[in-house]
Amino acid sequence: MEQSFQSFLSTYLDAWKASSLEDLKGFISREYNGREISGGDIVDYGYEESIMGWEQGFHYVKENNAQWKVDVCSVIPLRNDETMVILRAALIIKGKCSETSNLFFDTFKRNEQKDWELIRSYAEAGVPNSYLNQAELTHR
């Protein structure tokens, strides 16, 4: 993995795990597009809706004194300036991991300033951990 992307990804994940909305905003493209599947329902959203979703999620984490457990499952270079990262995210509340995780297929691209930013996401929400624990989701 390219050193600049590896460094970027580490910083991005640090902002996520710290529930820092201000830091995370700086990593998301204004042209961002996302899709989430939750309970069979499909929701498409853009930058503003994404920020509102992160804000609600971070508020929940802070309100419940929870922690994020975010694992990198895979990093897939798509082009010279584009990389997809598959992430598994769950919450730890009172020392116990949630029974479900969300899988994120996040695509990052270098912008005109050569900085990496999140341009699109596909997320499967509420996947039972029992299914994911059976799957081979380890970073290679």
Predicted pLDDT at 23: 96
CATH architecture of 3-134: Roll (3.10)
Q: Average pLDDT per run of 10 along the chain, which is 140 residues long?
A: 84 97 96 95 97 96 96 94 96 93 96 93 93 60
Q: What is the pLDDT of residue 130?
A: 85
pLDDT for 133 equals 73
pLDDT of residue 135: 59
Q: What pLDDT was estimated at residue 1?
A: 52
- Residue 137 is predicted with a pLDDT of 54
How are the residues of the chain apportioned to helix, strand and coil, as percentages rounded to the nearest 5?
A: 30, 50, 20
Closest alpha carbon to 115 in 18, 36, 9: 9
